[in-house]
Chain A
Amino acid sequence: MAEIPEYAVWLIFLLPVFSFAFISFVIRPFFNKKAELAGYLTIACIATSLLFALWTLYSVLQTHEHQLDFHAHEWLVVGSHQISLGIMVDSLTAIMLLVVSFCSLMIQIYSQGYMHGDPGYCRYYAAMSLFTASMLGLVMAGNLIQLYVFWELVGLCSYLLIGFWFHRPSAAAAAKKAFLVTRLGDFGLLAGLLYLYFKTGTVDIGELHTMAIAGGIAASTLTLAAIGIFAGAVGKSAQFPLHVWLPDAMEGPTPVSALIHSSTMVTAGVFLVARTFPIFVGSETALTVVACIGGFTAIFAASMALVATDIKRVLAYCTVSQLGYMMLGLGAAGLVLAEEGHATLELAKVATAVGIFHLFTHAFSKALLFLGSGSVNHATGTFDMRLMGGLRKHMPWTYLTFLVGSICIAGVWPLACFWSKDEILVKAFELSDARVILFYLGLITAFMTAFYMFRAVFMTFHGEYRGGASAAGHGHGSHGHGDVHLHESPPVMIAPMLLLFCLAIGAGLVNVTGWFDRFFGGHHVVGWDHLVRIFTASENNNVALISSIVALAAIGLAYAIYKAKRISAESMGRTFRPLYTVFYRKYWMDELYERIFVVRVLLNGLFRVFQAFDTYIVDGLVNGVAGGTVMAGRLIRNAETGRLQTYALVMFAGILIIIGLVYWLT
């Protein structure tokens, strides 16, 4: 097979754009009665994108450098400034294209069943197409401005999809919140981008890579730029302190959550850090920030997942936590590299493999888990785990896939996430001095992850059925699937879940022999016996063994509490009441941001003062001047009485005064 031509790479992104445009401008206005066309078209386009993505992967593999070179096209020329339009295809892009198009395809197929009969069917598929297209465009962007463009478009699509059921006030608010919180991060990205351009005169990613590694950019510049870029990543990847939007984002249809959480939107932040990694490598400060924010977010989000009762919320916090892991992996790998000194571009790229590998394995399992939660919702009409239970018997396929997804996320050998999580922990363990604490944070998080995932499994699928939406009176979180009866979801929903299920099991195997690392430019080769030897191999300090024991212990604890009921969950809640409250109230961060900062400080504080200033001072002054003029006119007009006697009197008085003055002065 030949190397992929440039236009075919563009098509990966343009095909979903086409399906978006065609649905919005042709199908929706003229063929709304045949809305199912929208679904088919989207699936066809994204499937073709997937094929091209595979071709891209193949072509990248064929090249020695694992990179395809395409020249950039002129887009905007002003004076001496030139901004171009180009694509950058290296191993990172190839993997991302594959993950995004595959996950999206699975989710679009699933949506055929899930969104069946929704009045916004066309709008749904149009937005999903644009969402996928934006993310595909983002991962192949050749320069930072182009990346920023797609970055913002991804934000727009998430806004449209989270607020898909806009008539629900909570959905409308969540959509707005997602856009605004991520935009706060985008400001950092914009600032970093402007600063880099000012210092280097280029926004081309390839050129920036070379310059940053070769020392062509001052260390202080790298630090500032990297922190700015990371701020953008913190927003999009829902890292502390900008994580607040992601749990609310589940107001959108469940397949949307699956897409946002697995491969599109939230992974953009991790991708961005990986994409600009050579800039980070030049700044130990920035890398430390990345690793610390990542490590902290991992455990911070996991703590809230422990007590969440909404199955999607558990998964949402799980995503935040896993993204923290990815950031930790990137930061730690970079720090290890920086400590060794003499970083090269190649080594910097290899270092990203750790974090991106977790992104890769996590994408499949998280998509699977969300689709599973959607399937559960399809049957029970609720997302509240307290109203579920016993679904194992009624939904065997959903149960099986959800269980495997949970085992995978929990990091149990030999499923996908085990391998990637292990690598991150190994990297964190290699950190020097106090930073090794990040390893312990990661380990505790692993325990918590396994615990809350299995808490969800047991609460949802085991025990007795507790009535679903009908028990809650009205459909909490449901979107009106009518009367609720327990049933397995249709094959169109199960089939994509099974495909993802296979990947959740097997995706980790690609790096058992170090293939994934080699794809990113590494040279380390190990045999397939590593599959078992990982527990005895001395070079990874038995991290694999420790983390496995931790995960199994957590599963055991969850079993004891939620399945065997040896320990009562209620008594646990009572014992740790303050802690439970803190977790359950999400550390009061929503209150802090929304009620205190936005409402009290800005809307009713600062902005109100400005508004009053504008009305009473600025405009008041204007009206005051006008009023003063009128007043003065009125006063003076009083003199103009028209009566001759008055005039004569005034004249006489005036003459007297003048005479008096003259007399007095002389």
Chain B
Amino acid sequence: MEFADFYPLSLIIFLPAVGALLIAVIPGLDSGGVKRIAAFFTFCSFALSLAMFCLFDRSSSAYQFVESVSWIPQININYHIGVDGLSMPLVILTTLLGFLSVFVSWRIELRPKEYFAWLLILESSILGVFCSLDLLLFFLFWEVEVIPMYFLISIWGGGRRAYSAIKYVIYTMFGGAMMLAGILTLYATTGTFDMTVLAGTDFADLVAVIPLAAIFWLLITAFLIKLPVFPLHTWLPDAHTDAPTAVSVMLAGSLLKMGGYGMIRICVTVFPDVARDYAHLLVILAVIGILYGAAVTIKQTDLKRLIAYSSVSHMGYVLLGVFALSDLSITGACLQMFSHGMVTGLLFAMVGLVYDKTHTRSIPELGGLARQMPIIVAVFSVAGLASLGLPGTSGFAAEFIVFLGSFTSTAVAGIKIYTLLGALAIVVTAGYILWMLERVFYREPKPKYDGVPDANKLEMAYIFTFVAVIMLVGIYPRILTDVIDSWLPTMPLP
């Protein structure tokens, strides 16, 4: 029996969901048991995806570990999944974050059964999005993800959690509706939901039910909201700030990447010509997002909100890389998605730790913590430095490749100026990160925080895992770029 004969991809996707089911149905389970089950199933999913990552054929641009079962044959909908160089890094990112977020949630004692069940379902739905090769299946997973998010934010969140949760839902549903319309018109035009077929479609021979550009914009609206892109970003700071820590980790780390992934997988791959037509506009939006996001970030006084806003700026690099439309820039965008997932995931985890110990997230109230929590400050600093793109961390490798790829791209007029404008954000980013570190950790220690504990063993274990991955990718980015690179030949680039 080969590895592929065990339906490994289905296992990776559904193992967390099976864990959720078990948690829900096993009677009399205490909170420790719930956490152990959650840890076990997310670990299995992660281990399998790691094995898949190792076995992944880096010389092939085709989908691998493909499974295809006819599901609704009348309209040709299939349970069709597989991974390639684009989705593989995101799958392993999601399983890793899913596993780590169980430990990030270790202190949850409020209704733990429901909490962990929803958390695991969330992971399954995200994985489903990254692995689906059928548009309707893709849409299904995309929409399922809203349900656990709604409950996780509105029950276990803080602040204006009801408002934030509903805002998140409405935004996502709005995007989802547009996407469904896009998918259906695309089906009406081409007669297929199969993404592998759609990728090579020559629209010249087809009669589109509505203009192709309209289908493109219907689809990309959902992705632009998810990424998020200015001016569709305001759901993000609210949702992040009010979500429980582990959900912020998943949201920033993995969920946002659905936007970037969808853009590349569907919008750029299926409509390369339309993408080229609108690349200029989207690149401008990216640069606005990068600079504007950074400028707004610097003004935040809530630690978590600050990190949340930094995502708006950092995901701008993804959009820039994608619509600079060169092989190097798209590789950079993919790497940035992974890197941002780890780095911002870690930043949210660290904010969670600081909040756990000090019971505040208000930056002016904090201060001088470096003496009281040396390990937390060390790891927080590493995460911050990775966020500002310091060499040796994944942030640098990703941003640098995006800059190099965008600057040398020939697909968009004026891309050099846009890239340089975007690169200017490295100064502002350094500004908000270092200023935040200074206000929270440096200066005189405050007596009221004397005796607050530093990270415990379990916390150290998961934060050091983050750090190790961030540095591994930073020092040897080929570990991912070789995988990403294997898929690039299929990209219809100018």
Contact = CB atoms under 8 A, between A and B. Distances in A.
Interface of A: 75-81, 145, 148-150, 152-153, 156, 159, 163, 166-169, 171-173, 175-176, 179-180, 183-184, 186-187, 190-191, 194-195, 197-198, 603, 606-608, 610-611, 614, 618-619, 622, 626
B437 to A, nearest CB: 8
B296 A614 contact: yes
A607 B407 contact: no
A78 B434 contact: no
B442 A163 contact: yes
B123 interface: no
Nearest to A119: B371
**Which one of A78, A197, A603 has the greatest number of beta carbons of chain B within 10 Å?**
A78
B449 to A, nearest CB: 13
A618 B420 contact: no
B426 interface: yes
A607 B296 CA distance: 6
Q: Range of interface residues on chain B?
A: 35 or more
Contact of A76 (B167, B235, B478): B478
A156 B416 CA distance: 28
Nearest to A79: B327
10 contacts: A77-B482, A80-B327, A166-B370, A167-B445, A172-B442, A173-B438, A176-B435, A180-B434, A186-B426, A195-B416
A187 B298 contact: no
A575 B170 CA distance: 72
A89 B326 CA distance: 34
A622 B442 CA distance: 38
B8 interface: no
Interface in B435-494: 435, 438, 441-445, 477-478, 481-482, 484-485, 488
A190 B423 contact: yes
B427 A156 contact: no
A606 B298 CA distance: 11
B73 interface: no
Given A173-B438, A176-B435, A610 B403 contact: no
A263 to B, nearest CB: 21
A172 B426 contact: no
Contact of A149 (B392, B405, B407, B443): B392
Contact of B370 (A77, A148, A167, A184): A167
Interface in B395-440: 396-397, 400-401, 403-405, 407-408, 416, 419-420, 423-424, 426-427, 430-431, 434-435, 438
A606 B390 contact: no
Contacts of B15: none
Contact of B424 (A150, A156, A172, A187): A187
A626 B299 CA distance: 26
A79 B485 contact: yes
Contacts of A626: 170
Contacts of A619: 234
Contacts of B478: 75-77
Contact of B419 (A77, A180, A194, A618): A194
B28 interface: no
Given A77-B485, A152-B391, A180 B427 contact: yes
B81 interface: no
Contacts of A167: 368, 370-371, 442-445
Contact of A172 (B299, B400, B404, B438): B438
B391 A603 contact: no
Contacts of B296: 607, 610-611, 614
Nearest to A173: B438
Contacts of A186: 426
> 6 closest pairs, A vs B, by CB?
A172-B442, A79-B327, A149-B391, A619-B234, A166-B442, A611-B299
Interface of B: 167, 170, 230-231, 233-235, 292, 295-296, 298-299, 327-328, 331, 368, 370-371, 385, 390-392, 396-397, 400-401, 403-405, 407-408, 416, 419-420, 423-424, 426-427, 430-431, 434-435, 438, 441-445, 477-478, 481-482, 484-485, 488
Q: Secondary structure at chain B's binding surface: helix, strand, loop or mixed?
A: helix
A77 B484 CA distance: 11
Contacts of B484: 78
A607 B231 contact: no
A453 B80 CA distance: 78
Contacts of A190: 403, 423, 426
A262 B396 CA distance: 28
A173 B392 CA distance: 24
A148 B407 contact: no
Given A81-B328, A618-B231, A198 B295 contact: no
Nearest to B482: A77
Contacts of B170: 626
B477 A76 contact: yes
Nearest to B435: A176
Contact of A166 (B292, B396, B401, B441): B441
A197 B403 CA distance: 11
Contacts of B230: 618
A194 B332 CA distance: 15
B391 A610 contact: no
A176 B438 contact: yes
A190 B426 CA distance: 10
Nearest to B171: A622
Contact of B396 (A80, A149, A171, A198): A149
A150 B390 CA distance: 10
Given A167-B442, A618-B234, A622-B234, A79 B488 contact: yes
A156 B170 CA distance: 43
B390 A153 contact: yes
B348 to A, nearest CB: 20
A156 B443 CA distance: 19
B328 A78 contact: yes
A78 B407 CA distance: 15
